[in-house]
Structure 1
């Protein structure tokens, strides 16, 4: 949880290397330069809602609040906690490897990718969008939202219901967050990792991708069936010729095929798929989950023998008949290894191989070896390898400097290199002493370069130093808010109850109407429908009759509506409504039940109330920090910024 929260801090892009710029403000003796504020402001300016001011003076308040929280965390000594130090140490080690592109061995990544190619997942997710360079305060809001959604689901709420209410994935309103089946390389790698590392029916912890924060719930797994290629004949459901009945036409086609007609010829003459009919209905090879029609895929993969022809079946696009052209099973690991290796090395999974890292470090540090090192080391070892034990005497040359590294001039002596070669000498033989020594020296330099760079990244790489600083502050901010806001809101039952009672009106349920809704663009048809209901005819029979006799469609749905969903100015009562005109449509509601708005119990809206209570606590917390702090804004510098951005 902390790791994900902290990603929002250093991904916000607020990494700074201050020059002696003008000081914009001072908070409790901490000077903050205009450059730091400007960089954050410019990256987040376009994300501010249109109905909110994005002027520098307004944005400055958010910036000050963040700085006050970080200062308070240091004042409370949260940076001295052992848990903080351990977390920071572990993160530094992880970041150092990542920053150097020192990732897992390529072979391990290839095996992981193969396993995830063979084993497919079906999952659903919830997304709360946040820009990668959003201000920490904004990303914190997103993180809290996704964390609360997860808590609701863990506490028993239906995942799809929460997804429809919370998720900012545009498709979630319709599919409840369902993603369908996928495998390796089909999702961004962080999402793929979270999905495959979460047990079936469990809900992952919040994680971040370039889209925002997610939680994912795998709901099923299956073995991949490889790929198939089919040809198809399609009779579209919507025909311009009213004399063509799609089901009858596809049965005629099926009869022709059963009598020996060529599939390719029949496709050319009867198929409504304009993209494939000239090719005898031939489609590109596909995998499970690649097409939008589950019925089409199911039929295609059910065909066993090459040349087999399916029975007619229906999809949302039309009636189809398939012919199996080929089946490609999932390749073995050895067969897939080369292709997967190419994918992995181009993917974020493996950002650089060790050779590239070594070359990068050699170029960076430009190691210059002492001229006498190679000859001296050769003098230690026999020209022809022997198992004779070699003992180093305390010769003065052993203290000679072989090379130095970095700004601090870290020194490596002849003896250090000699000891490294001696350890290698005891494990392997050689034919040529000079080659053994040369390779050994280069190996020693590679090891030293990597270790030195890892240990001194803060000094050697400003970017790493900035990211680590941001992480430090983010970790402190997490602990501060968790203690003073999040846990308090969840554990303070009395305070939560009092907050709920003070704001009870905000949590009243809305008035709803359970109704059958008839919609059509024809006013006369809407009237006929309403008249049918008055005669006791059911809505379903009334609509069926109208659609059979008229070209203009009459649509029927059963829904639970709120007043906000009704056409403007309309109020319903139980029974059949008057004819209502809404834009180009005419609507008739048949209301079967009305649920009045009412007060709700805290237990029914606990998740929402906790979220709102947390906001109140945080506002009070920040106000208290401001009240006891000294904040000085350099008006001249601020006015310069205002002038700069006023257009």
Structure 2
């Protein structure tokens, strides 16, 4: 809920940073000014986003904008900004936002382009893994490397890759899959592994490849073009629950398939019988997708196997249920421009990000000249002992020789003691470089790099005014969420008496139309519907009608039983809301006959039947009353002359 709320709020107020140099004050809240530039930018930004036409009215929009500022003022007055949870969340948002400023755009672009070019192909590869931890000692690393080299020599001498993978690979899955990883494209494997796979020819075996898991030998079995994306429609019958008759679902999907073979309309059958309610109303149409985007390989493979010549699948089963899939269209992979944002996001979460970080660090070393005090550094080196390798080393209690400045980043001093505290924390990293002085040299480089990056990140507001503006909006947004949660949302859920009292005033807005408990019978054959009509008149059940008119080979009739509200799409057109059996009607290729068993008169919905809508309306009611109270608590003064000029400028 908070993500959705902040997403809307930041859209609303992304440009709402106070303009200290604005020429005119639009309004004040307890003497705090808010300027015309801010209001104009917010309004123009949201003009095409708001659905309520009244919110496009400038007078109405000013009311909303003032209300927003009143709520933020109230949150600050209540000191919600001091809440530890708020501060933690704000820090988290800042970390996320800062990623846009702590990357090297040139390196990012190169990695995006590389990832895109690789995405044009899908590789089927097998591997043999010899485990070696990232922080393994040089001796253990060498042992793993020698082991994998020995295996590679056996492979180059003609031994079978699958057999050696089963026998020698330390990837547990290799016992079952013989090391085969299936098809993958860019961003599916760790970067070093991916790069080696894409650089190895089909049928060839790579040199040993080091990743965080260990050493790999990769054999590329096949390379195929990326299948792109596909648009399909489907009819689904869900798998039965445990204990239910599994043949029922299978029989139903087979009956539907028979009707398709008889020439009946796919979209109409999907609307009537598909259990995927999110797509049924659209004739079974799904959003287009590519390889690996769905959670069912069976469905993806079944869909991509379709062609223009054979556009409809026979029934097949996935872990979700039975499907019949119809091809709508196939699309080639997206262009680089279309994929850019998605690829940038993947790069930031991938091993590739280390390359970007290293590039930025190189620039920061040039931006912030570091001059080390070698005397303080020497004292720090002397303080570290071999106990480090056993995780037992402690920072000395006497720090007079290391408390001095080790180096500075602009006005920030970092002491030798800061470095020693960092070294203590690194004992958990498994760092095994020897002897100790070499270890400290290595850790010093990492320490300086981390300090440079941290200083740069901590001071983004000073270097990038737009970053400072967006962070200000995050601060207000989080405060406002906490305030709304306290004043409106929780109250609307827990104030049972108030909620039910509000419901009593809103009854007339929440009513059921006349409803009917009915049986609907459909067929593409007039004579079949006539037979069904005769049977209905003799009080035959739906099952009896299906048993009589359907055969093992042909599904002539389908039935639906439910309670329908007057005007519901599922009811045949012009159905009279009265007990009895209708005449035969036709829509498209289908003939319908409806038997209404019971009529439920129009009535007010009970509280439970419309509780969700009542809660939503109650929240809006509470919020409006609350804003009115805030206007009494704080003094709002609008400069009407300035506002009129703003309106004229916007209308132009």
Q: TM-score, normalised by structure 1?
A: 0.51
Q: Matched residues in 2 for 1:43 and 1:398: separation?
A: 52
Deviations 1:523-551, CA, capped at 9 Å, x for gaps: 88867765664466666777898899xx9
- Does structure 2 retain, via aligned residues, the 8 Å contact 1:458–1:464? yes
Counterpart in the other structure of 1:561: 564
SS of structure 2 residue aligned to 1:503: helix
- Does structure 1 retain, via aligned residues, the 8 Å contact 2:80–2:86? no
**Superposition pairs for residues 390-401 of structure 1, below 5 Å?**
none
Distance 1:626-1:581 versus aligned 2 partners, 3 A rule: farther
Structure 1 residue 453: Cα displacement: 3.7
| Residue 617 of structure 2 is aligned to residue 612 of structure 1 | yes
**Superposition pairs for residues 273-288 of structure 1, below 5 Å?**
287-288=297-298
Pairing partner for 2:68 from 66, 74, 77: 66
Structure 1 residue 513: Cα displacement: 0.6
Counterpart in the other structure of 1:133: none
Pairing partner for 2:519 from 507, 516, 519: 516
**Superposition pairs for residues 352-391 of structure 1, below 5 Å?**
353-354=353-354, 356-357=356-357, 359-361=359-361, 363-364=363-364, 366-370=367-371
Counterpart in the other structure of 1:88: 86
Q: TM-score, normalised by structure 2?
A: 0.51
Counterpart in the other structure of 2:307: none
- Does structure 2 retain, via aligned residues, the 8 Å contact 1:345–1:352? no
Q: Matched residues in 1 for 2:258 and 2:557: separation?
A: 21
Structure 1 residue 562: Cα displacement: 0.7
- Does structure 2 retain, via aligned residues, the 8 Å contact 1:519–1:586? yes
| Residue 520 of structure 2 is aligned to residue 500 of structure 1 | no
SS of structure 2 residue aligned to 1:89: helix
- Does structure 2 retain, via aligned residues, the 8 Å contact 1:374–1:437? no
Q: Matched residues in 2 for 1:239 and 1:294: separation?
A: 10
Distance 1:476-1:554 versus aligned 2 partners, 3 A rule: same
Q: Matched residues in 2 for 1:357 and 1:175: separation?
A: 47
- Does structure 2 retain, via aligned residues, the 8 Å contact 1:361–1:449? yes
Gaps of 5+ in 2: 104-132, 136-172, 178-231, 243-256, 265-295, 304-312, 327-342, 388-395
Deviations 1:31-59, CA, capped at 9 Å, x for gaps: 22233334433343222237656344433
Q: Matched residues in 2 for 1:93 and 1:557: separation?
A: 55
Counterpart in the other structure of 2:181: none
Aligned residues: 430
Pairing partner for 1:24 from 23, 26, 47: 26
SS of structure 2 residue aligned to 1:514: strand
Q: Matched residues in 2 for 1:241 and 1:441: separation?
A: 75
Counterpart in the other structure of 1:485: 488
Distance 1:401-1:79 versus aligned 2 partners, 3 A rule: closer
- Does structure 2 retain, via aligned residues, the 8 Å contact 1:512–1:561? yes
Deviations 1:99-144, CA, capped at 9 Å, x for gaps: 45499xx999xxxxx9xxx9xxxxxxxxxxxxxxxxxxxxxxxxxx
Gaps of 5+ in 1: 109-113, 119-170, 181-218, 221-234, 243-285, 300-313, 319-342
Q: Matched residues in 1 for 2:379 and 2:605: separation?
A: 89
Q: Matched residues in 2 for 1:174 and 1:238: separation?
A: 11
Q: Matched residues in 2 for 1:422 and 1:538: separation?
A: 81
Distance 1:464-1:578 versus aligned 2 partners, 3 A rule: same
Structure 1 residue 449: Cα displacement: 1.5
**Superposition pairs for residues 584-603 of structure 1, below 5 Å?**
587-599=592-604, 601-603=606-608
SS of structure 2 residue aligned to 1:564: coil
- Does structure 1 retain, via aligned residues, the 8 Å contact 2:317–2:323? no
Q: Matched residues in 2 for 1:534 and 1:7: separation?
A: 58
RMSD between aligned residues? 5.7
Distance 1:50-1:175 versus aligned 2 partners, 3 A rule: farther
